[in-house]
A = this chain, B = another copy of it.
Amino acid sequence: MTTRYADRMEGVKPSAIRQLLQFGADPTIISFGGGYPDSSLFPARELQAIFGELLAGPGEVSLQYTHSTGMPKLRQQIAQRMAADGIVCEEDQVLILQGSQQGLDLAARLLINPGDLIATEAPTFLGALIAFNTCQPGYLAIPMDEQGLMTDVLEQKLKEGQRIKLLYTVPDFHNPTGITLSLARRQHLIQLANQYDFIILEDSPYREVRYQGDKVPTLKSMDTQGRVIYFGSFSKILAPGLRLGWSVASAEITEKLGLLKLAADTQCSTLNMAAVSMYLERHNIDDHIQTIKAQYLRKKETMLSVVRSEFPQGISWTDPDGGLFTWMEFPEGFDTAKFMLEHAVPEAKVVWVPGATFFPTVQRDNFARFSYSTHGDEKIIRGMTALAELLKKHL
C-alpha cells in the first residue's frame, strides 16, 4: 500500500544531524557535534538518594498519574526561580514541559496557521525549525552581528509591510553562534512586538550557564503586554535524560498550552517531576550551576586556545560568555560539510555540525558549530589539534 500522509509531512524530513549521530556512536571519533552537557557533571549521587527515597514512599506520589500542567509544587518552585531572575509570575503561568523542545512544538501549534510567517535569527536552532515545520510556516530570516539579532533589519522588513505572527530567538548564548542579544536590542525587540503585534518565543536553555560578564535582563521581564513566552530547561543545569523544561507566559496562553500538552502526551513523568522538585528543595542548585560553569569556561578556553594558536589564517570564531558552543566562519567557498565527510572523518577522526543546516531560508556552507561541553580537556586538545593540522593542509 502507499500511505497518503497529511500535507504537513512535506516539511518533516530527516535532518543532517542524523548522520552525526552515527558518528557519535563510533568511539574512535571525537564529536564536537551534539550539544550534549558533560555527563560527569550530572548530580547522579544526589539524584540516586532522591529517587531511592521517592520510590520507598507511596506509589501514589511518584508513579501515579498527576496534573497535565505539571506537579503543583514544582511549578511554584520554578515561579520562584523565575522571580529571582526578574520574571515575576504565579504558578498558573508556569507549565512543565517534556524539555523546552516540547514548548516550541506546542507554541507553534497554538499560534501558527499554514503560511504564517515566523521570524528567526539566521542561523537558528535546528530543533526549533524541526518543530515549527510541522505547522507549515514561512520564515523571515534576520541576520545577526556580534550584538545578536539585527533588530533594525527586522524593523525595516516590518516597515516594508512584512507581517510576522511570531519571532523565535535564543537571546542568551545563542544556538548555534554563542552570541548574546544586547540590552538595547532586547528593548527594541519588545517595542517592535508591541508596535507590530507579534509574539516572541524566548528560548533560553543556556541562560543559567553564564560564566563571564553581567546578566542581561530577559525579554520576558520587559514584557508588559503578555507577548513573550519564555522557555527554560533542566537539561543543561541538571540532566537532559530527565526530559524536563518549562514555559512562562500569560495565564491565558499557559492554559491553552496546557490543553495542547494534555492532548500531546497527558503529562510529564510524575517520578522525574517529583525528583527535580525534591532536588530543588534539598540542594542549592545555584551551587551546582557554579561548578558546571567553571568546567565549561575551562573547556571553552581549552578549545579556543588550540584554535587561536593552531588554526590557519582565514577562520574566525565567536568567544561566548556562556553556553556550550562556538561558531566558526571559514573562507567563502569552503564547504564545512564536504570537508568533514571527505577529510575530517577519515583523516582526523573529528566531527562537528556543518553550519548550513542552521539557516532557515538561504543556507550558507562556510560555517560550523563546535560544542566544547561534552569532552574532557585531553580529547578537546587532541581533536582540535588534529583538525588544525588538516586545515593547514587544505586552506
Residues of A within 8 A of B (CB): 1, 3-9, 12-14, 21, 34, 36-37, 39-42, 44-45, 47-48, 51-52, 55-56, 58-60, 62-67, 97-99, 101-102, 105, 109-113, 116, 127, 130-131, 133-135, 165, 197, 199, 225-227, 239-243, 252-253, 255-256, 259-260, 262-272
Contact = CB atoms under 8 A, between A and B. Distances in A.
A6 B109 contact: yes
A265 B109 contact: no
16 contacts: A6-B112, A7-B113, A12-B256, A12-B259, A39-B63, A44-B56, A47-B55, A63-B239, A63-B241, A98-B98, A99-B265, A102-B264, A240-B270, A264-B264, A265-B265, A269-B272
The 4 A-B pairs of least Cβ separation, nearest first, read A241-B270, A48-B55, A63-B239, A42-B59
Nearest to A194: B1
Nearest to A41: B59
Contacts of A64: 36-37, 39, 42, 239-241
Contacts of A4: 111, 165
Contacts of A269: 241-243, 269, 272
A29 B272 CA distance: 28
A393 to B, nearest CB: 33
Nearest to A40: B59
Contacts of A226: 1, 3
A271 B131 contact: no
A39 B12 contact: no
Given A14-B259, A109-B134, 4 more contacts: A44-B55, A66-B241, A98-B266, A264-B265
Contacts of A116: 6
Contacts of A113: 6-8
Which one of A5, A55, A113, A116 has the highest number of Cβ atoms from chain B below 10 Å of its Cβ? Answer: A55
Contacts of A97: 265
Contact of A265 (B37, B102, B199, B271): B102
A101 B265 CA distance: 5
Contacts of A263: 12, 101, 105, 127, 130-131, 133-134
Contacts of A37: 64
A40 to B, nearest CB: 7
Which one of A111, A112, A243 has the highest number of Cβ atoms from chain B below 10 Å of its Cβ? Answer: A243
Copies of this chain present in the complex amount to 2
A26 to B, nearest CB: 15
Nearest to A131: B263
A182 to B, nearest CB: 25
B265 A243 contact: yes
A42 to B, nearest CB: 4
A353 B256 CA distance: 23
Contact of A243 (B101, B112, B127, B268): B268
A256 B5 contact: yes
Given A51-B55, A227-B1, A8 B265 contact: no
Contacts of A42: 59, 63-64
Given A55-B48, A241-B63, A260 B134 contact: yes
A166 to B, nearest CB: 10
Nearest to A240: B65
Which one of A116, A226, A240, A269 has the highest number of Cβ atoms from chain B below 10 Å of its Cβ? Answer: A269
Contacts of A252: 3
